[in-house]
A and B are shown apart, each in its own frame.
Chain A
Amino acid sequence: DQAPLPIAPTSPPISDFLVQLEDYTPTIPDSVTAHYLATAGLETTDPRILRLVSLAAQKFVSDVASDALANCKMRQSNTATNNKKEKKYALTTEDLAVALGDQGVNVRKPPYYQ
């Protein structure tokens, strides 16, 4: 029942959120976001809009990365034969492919080079 009305019930918090974005610094710099939005023809000078877009992109990256990391940890615990002192987590295309597969994106390793 909540699916058709995603905006209406959350309206007051979102307007507060937009006010909070006035003095917020996202990881992706405003100028970078502005450049890519301008590539698509969206020109804006409102920093809140840029930051909203930056946050959306960052959340996507973080969600995918934490999915991939969970995958990586699971794989490492399954093959727990090599008990190294330092555990290093590396972002690999294999983990990424699984994490992105959940989002409906098909990623494959390039068949040649590297």
Chain B
Amino acid sequence: MTEPEPTDPYRACLRVAVSSLCTEVGYDCADSTALETVTEMVQSLLVELGRSARAFTELASRVEPVSADIMLAMVEMGMPMTGLQEYAMRSNRVSLPSPSATVTAKQ
């Protein structure tokens, strides 16, 4: 958290995504520590959602997850599905380019 320089490219991309979401909400700038806190929490949320969804997948004796596994994981984590569709279709959304090209160029 103290050194933002040598992070992996995925983390850097996640940071950019969090920044653009904050800009979209109406922020003009952000503290580095606050941004890093949100990024860390999103990363944690993604991994935890993956872990929980994998548990549901394996409980149903499958190796490939289906969307119901993700929904069950979300509900179990206390994230309601309601409002997600409206959120997805919001007007002023931004999308980032995939980082794959940059990553392959670096290595």
What is A's interface to B at a CB cutoff of 8 Å?
6-7, 10, 13-14, 17-18, 20-21, 24-33, 35-42, 44, 46, 48-49, 52-53, 55-62, 64-66, 69, 88-93, 95-96, 100, 105, 107, 109-110, 113-114
Closest to B58 in A: A41
A37 to B64, CA, bound (A): 12
Cα–Cα distance between A62 and B26 once the two chains are bound (Å): 10
Closest to B39 in A: A61
Q: How far is the CB of B30 from chain A (nearest CB, A)?
A: 4
Task: Report B16-41 CB contacts with A as 1/0, cut-off 8 Å.
Answer: 01101110111111111111011001
Q: Would you call A88 and B28 a contact (CB within 8 A)?
A: yes
Q: Which residues of B contact A90 (CB under 8 A)?
A: 27-31
A7 to B51, CA, bound (A): 21
Q: Tell me what chain B mostly uses at the interface: helix, strand, loop, or mixed.
A: helix
Residues of A within 8 A of B64 (CB): 44, 46
Q: Does B107 contact A (CB under 8 A)?
A: no
Nearest chain A CB to B19 CB, angstrom units: 9
Q: Which residues of B contact A96 (CB under 8 A)?
A: 34, 37-38
Choose among B25, B45, B47, B94 the residue that contacts A66 (Cβ–Cβ < 8 A). Answer: B25
Contact of A39 among B18, B41, B47 (CB under 8 A): B47
Chain B: CB-nearest residue to A30? B98
For A35, list chain B residues within 8 Å (CB). 10
Q: How far is the CA of A7 from the CA of B67 in the complex (A)?
A: 12
Question: Are A14 and B81 touching (Cβ within 8 A)?
Answer: yes
Residues of A within 8 A of B2 (CB): 113
Query: How far does the Cβ of A11 sit from chain B's closest Cβ, in whole Å?
Result: 10
Quote the shortest CB–CB distance from B9 to chain A (angstroms). Answer: 9
Of A18, A21, A62, chain B has the most CB atoms within 10 Å of the CB of A62
Residue-by-residue, is B50-88 near A (CB-CB < 8 Å gives 1, otherwise 0)? 110110010000001111001100110001111111011
Decide if B20 touches A89 in the complex (CB within 8 Å): no
